[in-house]
Structure 1
Amino acid sequence: MGRRTRWAAAFVAAGLLACAAPAVGAQAASSAQRIDLKVLVVDDGGPSVAAIVNELDLTGTPYTRVSLSDASRPVINAAFLSGTDSAGRAEARYQAVVLPNNAPFPAGSAEMTALQSYEAQFGVRQVDAYTYAQPAVGLNWAANPGYIGALDGMQGTVTSAGLGGSFRYLKGSVPFEDNDPNVVESYGYLATPLATQAAGASFTPLVTMPIPNGGGAQGVLAGEYDHSGVSELVLTFAYNQYQQQYRLLARGIVDWMTQGIHLGYDRNYFAMHIDDVFLPDDRWSSTAKCTPGDAASACQGTPAASEIRMTPADVTYAQQWEKANNFTFDFLFNGGGSDDATQNGTVDDPLTDSLLQNKSSFRWVDHTYDHPFLGCVQNTTTVPWSCTTDASGATQWVDQQTIEDAIGNNVAWAARHGLSIDSSELVTGEHSGLKTLPQQPVDNPNLAPALAAEGVKWTGSDHSREPDQRAVGGSTLTVPRFPMNVYYNAGKVADEVDEYNWLYTAGAQGGSGICTANPATTTCLPAPLDASTGYSSYVVPLESRIDLGHILGDNPDPHYAHQSNLSEDRILYPVLNSLFATYGQLMASNTPMVNLRESAIGAELQQRSTWQSAVAAGNVTAYRVGSTVTVQAPAGVQVPVTMPTGTVQPGLLGLVSTPAGTAYAGELSGWLTPKLLQSAVTLTLNAAGTPAAAQTTATTTKTATAVAPSTVKPYQPASVARQVPLTPSGVAHLPHSGK
Structure 2
Amino acid sequence: MTRRAVPVVPVVLLLLASLVATALTTPPASAASPRVEMRVLVVTDGQPEVEAVRDALTAGGVPIDVVDLADPVRPHLDAAALTLPDDVPHSRYQGVVLPNESPEALTPAELAAVHDLEREFGLRQINALITALPATGLAEPSDTTGWSGQVDGITTQLTPAAKADGFGDMRGPVPVDGDTWAEIGTPLPGYTPLLTATSPDGGRSGAVAGVLAVDGREELGLALTFEAGSTQFTALAPGLIEWLTRGTHLGVRRDWFAVHVDDVLLPDARWVVGAHCAYGADCPPGIAAVPTIRMTAADVEYAAAWSAQHGLRLDLAFNGAGSAAAVPNGEDPLLAALVAHKTAFGFLNHTWSHLYLGCVRDYSVTPWRCATVPILGWTRYVPGSEIEDQIARNLEFARVHGLPLDPEELVTGEHSGLRGDEEMAEDNPWLAGALDAEGVRTIASDASKEPAQRRIGAALTVPRHPIDLDYDTATFAETVDQYAWSHTSRADGGDGTCEADGGCVPALERSDPAAAFAQVIVLAEAAKALGHVLGNDPRPHYVHQPQLTEDRTLYPVLEKVLDGHGALYTEARPVLVPTMTQSRDELRRQADWAAAAPTVRAWVQDGAVTVVGDGLVPLTMPAGSSFGEAYGTTRSAWVQVSGERRV
Equivalent residues in 2 for 1:397-408, closer than 5 Å: 397-408=381-392
| Higher normalized contact order (CA 8 Å, seq sep 6+, divided by chain length) | 2
**1:31 alignment counterpart:** 32
Distance 2:555 2:501 in 1: 31
**1:663 alignment counterpart:** 630
**1:250 alignment counterpart:** 237
**1:724 alignment counterpart:** none
1:204 to 2:192 alignment: yes
**1:582 alignment counterpart:** 564
Equivalent residues in 2 for 1:421-570, closer than 5 Å: 421-473=405-457, 475-507=458-490, 509-515=492-498, 518-523=499-504, 525-526=506-507, 529-532=510-513, 533-570=515-552
Q: In the TM superposition, what is the alpha-carbon distance from 1:27 to its structure 2 partner?
A: 4.1
Equivalent AA in structure 2 for residue 539 of structure 1: I
TM-superposition CA deviations, 1:91-117 (whole Å, max 9, x none)? 111000001100114797111111111
Distance 2:252 2:14 in 1: 27
Distance 1:154 1:16 in 2: 48
Return the TM-score normalized by structure 2.
Answer: 0.93
Equivalent residues in 2 for 1:227-376, closer than 5 Å: 227-294=214-281, 297-300=282-285, 302-304=287-289, 306-343=291-328, 346-376=329-359
Q: In the TM superposition, what is the alpha-carbon distance from 1:414 to its structure 2 partner?
A: 1.2
More deviation, 280-289/101-110: 101-110
Equivalent AA in structure 2 for residue 337 of structure 1: G
Report the CA distance shift for 1:327/1:147 in structure 2 as closer, same or farther (over 3 A).
same
Q: In the TM superposition, what is the alpha-carbon distance from 1:571 to its structure 2 partner?
A: 1.1
1:59 to 2:60 alignment: yes
Q: Which has the larger radius of gyration?
A: 1
Distance 1:16 1:554 in 2: 26
Give 5+ residue unaligned stretches, structure 1. 1-14, 179-184, 649-659, 685-739
**1:596 alignment counterpart:** 578
Report the CA distance shift for 1:416/1:212 in structure 2 as closer, same or farther (over 3 A).
closer
Report the CA distance shift for 1:376/1:24 in structure 2 as closer, same or farther (over 3 A).
farther
Q: In the TM superposition, what is the alpha-carbon distance from 1:28 to its structure 2 partner?
A: 2.5
**2:620 alignment counterpart:** 642
Q: Give the secondary-structure state (helix, strand or coil) at the position aligned to 2:139.
A: coil
**2:150 alignment counterpart:** 150
Determine if contact 2:13/2:612 at 8 Å carries over to the other structure.
no
Q: Give the secondary-structure state (helix, strand or coil) at the position aligned to 1:98.
A: strand
Q: Give the secondary-structure state (helix, strand or coil) at the position aligned to 2:390.
A: helix
Q: Give the secondary-structure state (helix, strand or coil) at the position aligned to 1:83.
A: coil
Report the CA distance shift for 1:161/1:414 in structure 2 as closer, same or farther (over 3 A).
same
**1:92 alignment counterpart:** 91
Distance 2:433 2:237 in 1: 42
Equivalent residues in 2 for 1:667-686, closer than 5 Å: 667-674=634-641, 679-680=643-644, 682=646, 684=647
Q: Give the secondary-structure state (helix, strand or coil) at the position aligned to 2:50.
A: helix
Give 5+ residue unaligned stretches, structure 2. 1-10, 19-23
Return the TM-score normalized by structure 1.
Answer: 0.82
Distance 2:346 2:334 in 1: 17
In angstroms, what is the RMSD of aligned CA positions? Answer: 2.2
Report the CA distance shift for 1:323/1:466 in structure 2 as closer, same or farther (over 3 A).
same
Distance 1:192 1:483 in 2: 44
Distance 1:521 1:538 in 2: 17
Equivalent AA in structure 2 for residue 352 of structure 1: L
TM-superposition CA deviations, 1:361-412 (whole Å, max 9, x none)? 1111111111100000011222211111112211100000101111111112
Distance 2:288 2:201 in 1: 60
Q: Give the secondary-structure state (helix, strand or coil) at the position aligned to 2:343.
A: helix
Determine if contact 1:131/1:236 at 8 Å carries over to the other structure.
yes
Q: In the TM superposition, what is the alpha-carbon distance from 1:287 to its structure 2 partner?
A: 4.5
Determine if contact 2:530/2:565 at 8 Å carries over to the other structure.
yes
Q: In the TM superposition, what is the alpha-carbon distance from 1:527 to its structure 2 partner?
A: 5.3
Q: Give the secondary-structure state (helix, strand or coil) at the position aligned to 2:279.
A: coil
More deviation, 621-630/24-33: 24-33
Distance 2:249 2:568 in 1: 24
TM-superposition CA deviations, 1:516-565 (whole Å, max 9, x none)? xx432532534554443211221111111111111111111111111111
Determine if contact 2:14/2:610 at 8 Å carries over to the other structure.
no
TM-superposition CA deviations, 1:436-458 (whole Å, max 9, x none)? 33111111111111111111111
1:175 to 2:175 alignment: yes
Report the CA distance shift for 1:664/1:139 in structure 2 as closer, same or farther (over 3 A).
same
1:189 to 183, 187, 196: 183
Determine if contact 2:623/2:630 at 8 Å carries over to the other structure.
yes
Distance 2:522 2:106 in 1: 50
Q: In the TM superposition, what is the alpha-carbon distance from 1:155 to its structure 2 partner?
A: 1.6
Distance 2:548 2:639 in 1: 39
Report the CA distance shift for 1:16/1:244 in structure 2 as closer, same or farther (over 3 A).
closer
Equivalent residues in 2 for 1:382-421, closer than 5 Å: 382-391=365-374, 392-421=376-405
Distance 1:469 1:376 in 2: 22
Equivalent pairs counted in the alignment come to: 627
**2:42 alignment counterpart:** 41
Distance 2:476 2:207 in 1: 43
Determine if contact 2:146/2:185 at 8 Å carries over to the other structure.
yes
Q: In the TM superposition, what is the alpha-carbon distance from 1:26 to its structure 2 partner?
A: 6.6
Q: Give the secondary-structure state (helix, strand or coil) at the position aligned to 1:401.
A: helix
Distance 1:117 1:271 in 2: 46
Distance 1:505 1:213 in 2: 33
Equivalent AA in structure 1 for residue 184 of structure 2: L
Determine if contact 1:288/1:299 at 8 Å carries over to the other structure.
no
Q: Give the secondary-structure state (helix, strand or coil) at the position aligned to 1:207.
A: strand
Determine if contact 1:388/1:396 at 8 Å carries over to the other structure.
yes
Distance 2:88 2:12 in 1: 23
Equivalent AA in structure 1 for residue 501 of structure 2: A
Determine if contact 1:293/1:301 at 8 Å carries over to the other structure.
no
Report the CA distance shift for 1:63/1:419 in structure 2 as closer, same or farther (over 3 A).
same
More deviation, 49-58/280-289: 280-289
Determine if contact 2:29/2:606 at 8 Å carries over to the other structure.
no
Report the CA distance shift for 1:101/1:375 in structure 2 as closer, same or farther (over 3 A).
same
Between the aligned residues of both structures, percent identity stands at 38
Report the CA distance shift for 1:107/1:74 in structure 2 as closer, same or farther (over 3 A).
closer
**2:205 alignment counterpart:** 218
Report the CA distance shift for 1:570/1:226 in structure 2 as closer, same or farther (over 3 A).
same
